[in-house]
Chains A and B, each alone.
Chain A
Amino acid sequence: MSTEGRGEQVGLAATPEVEFGVPRSWARGQKVLHPSRDSYLGVAGALYAAGYLMCVDVTAVDYCAAKQHRVLPEGVLPERFEVVAGFISHSERGRVRLRVQVPESDPTCPSLWELHAGVEALEREVFDLFGITFGGHPDMTRILMPENWQGYPLRKDYSLGRIPVQFKGAPSS
């Protein structure tokens, strides 16, 4: 792991960096590409051709509680959700991460399943916990929560379900 870009996100350079036709940024020295939902599969395919044979991780982040904190390269419009997919190249010994913006009004994203069969469970987990559906996925069902569960627990507007505890004798605030 190189230390390039450590401590700062270089995403806001004067001329935006581009790789595979999509904006590129560096997060603590790690390479991040920002495809749109339309170019997502194309970039993943180009990465596969470039030796990134394994998709190690697919997850998502709900940014609805932290919009002002996000640094994105120029030309990438922030949306509520972000699907994050990590790839590894064994020949080049490198990693690359894709961050795809997914709007709240239409929480869908293309599935990588045709390219990487191993994303099946990971995308089901994202669907289960964030409610983002993946088009082209063979079995878009809940995986961790019960089949009849309502709601998507990892969304930021889903409460923790904490039970309030009364402390008798403590001064009320």
Chain B
Amino acid sequence: MTVVENQDSIDYHARLRNGRAVLRMSEVEAAQRGEMLADENDETMIINMGPQHPSTHGVLRLMLELQGEQVVRSKPIVGYLHTGMEKTAEDLTFLQGPTNVTRMDYASPLFNELVFSMAVEELLGIEVPERGQWIRMLMCELNRMSSHLLFQATNGMDIGAVSVMIYGWRDREELLRLFEKITGVRMNHNYIRPGGVAADLPDGWRDDLLRILEPLPGRLDDLDVLLTGQNIWRDRLQGVGVITTQEAIDLGATGPILRSTGYDWDLRRDLPYLHYDQVDFDVVVGTFGDCFDRYAIRLNEIRESMKIVYQILEKLPKGDYKVQDKKVTPPPRARIDESMEALIHHFKLYTEGYKVPEGEVYVAVESPRGELGCYLVSDGTSKPYRMHIRGPSFVNLQCLPHMMADGLIADTVAVISSVDPIMGEVDR
């Protein structure tokens, strides 16, 4: 773990707190400000960007204080997609829970399901069978690839490389087709559930997957040719939106943002869950903490995920894909047609649900955006007493004002894009 020591890093504590980058101002104050400017020489102005701006990734809105073309202070305003999902979760059984959380980070829904299911399993004290764990890893790594491909697409579009948008979207779509074959839907799968996964992998999945993986390295190399080595691309991203390691840690930033500063931290390797300790992969880190590093990290993480997927293909064991504890797992569909008891069993599980022992637990996984955590409190009934999701995008968004301060307004788009926020997860 390298910590870059320079003059800047010494006073980072004060810099993050002196209000030079963050515009802490309410709507009303901002509206009144124009009329009330005391200093006539003050040439700053506040403009609004979003929530309908096409490059703000959904409904992110920024309040920017500008001095000419330079951003002085800024404030991300969120909440436009707030639908009270944490409150909703308290009214859904543990079995229904994944359908709710999967809609939070809609670019990587399987991670949401995974972290919720792992929290429920921790409270229940059950172990998922080997095959179930490996299928979860397989699906999550494929989801990481599709999420990062989506990032390449939107990042390219934001910077102006519109053809990259088509390429990224095409490759992601191939993966989503595989998801549809395996889980039944392209997104919001409800595939990973407490106790295992919803269904075993379908016939022919391996051939389909290999067919998708085979051309992917070449396509990633195409991106390297189109973007990584290209001067315009580098000029646009290098040195833009710089953040240091200390700042990132102080701001609670995780995932590619933290790694772009050269900090070597990945929950998959450092606090392993599932069977990540049994596969071999590299944690990609950057050097300068700028937009280019964050772009390059995500591109290379696709390659690392492919490496993991090939190892999973070799190691995937046979056996159960969900736990055979009848208290948690409904009977197979075929049994319901022939057995009255199985029908009752199925009915009870899907109406009342299963009771989860009292307790509280925090579980975290490395989502494509950083540490995705789930804090779950159970009071011994079949519904969570409290379910809180620690969304990495929500915390990472706080880096925006510090990355954009003293930069050009044209760079804000590059910076927002490099943080890769998913507003569904920010607002929940």
| A residues neighboring B (CB under 8 Å) | 1, 6-7, 9, 27-28, 30, 53-57, 59, 61-62, 65-66, 69, 71, 84, 86, 88, 90, 93, 95, 97, 113-114, 116-122, 125, 129, 138-139, 141-147, 153-154, 158, 160
Contacts and interface: CB of A to CB of B under 8 A. Distances in A.
Contacts of B373: 56-57, 86
B27 A66 contact: no
Contacts of A9: 358-359
B250 A138 contact: no
B270 A160 contact: no
Given A9-B359, A97-B362, A154-B86, A117 B251 contact: yes
A121 B17 contact: no
Choose among A65, A90, A145, A153 the residue with the greatest number of B CB atoms under 10 Å from its CB. Answer: A90
Contacts of A90: 1, 263, 265, 270
A142 B395 CA distance: 16
Contacts of B254: 56
A153 B84 contact: yes
B87 A55 contact: no
A27 B122 CA distance: 10
B407 to A, nearest CB: 19
Contacts of A154: 86-87
Contact of B79 (A6, A30, A139, A146): A146
A50 to B, nearest CB: 15
Contact of A118 (B28, B79, B251): B251
Contact of A122 (B26, B79, B386, B395): B395
B250 A118 contact: yes
Given A69-B358, A138-B24, A144-B78, A121 B398 contact: yes
Interface residues of B, number: 52
Interface of A is mostly: loop
A7 B86 CA distance: 25
Contact of A27 (B360, B380, B398): B360
B397 interface: yes
Contacts of B16: 117
B266 to A, nearest CB: 11
Interface in B217-275: 249-254, 263, 265, 270-271
B317 interface: no
A61 B271 contact: no
A57 B263 CA distance: 20
B340 to A, nearest CB: 25
A147 B373 CA distance: 27
Nearest to A160: B91
A53 B250 CA distance: 8
Nearest to A141: B26
A95 B28 CA distance: 41
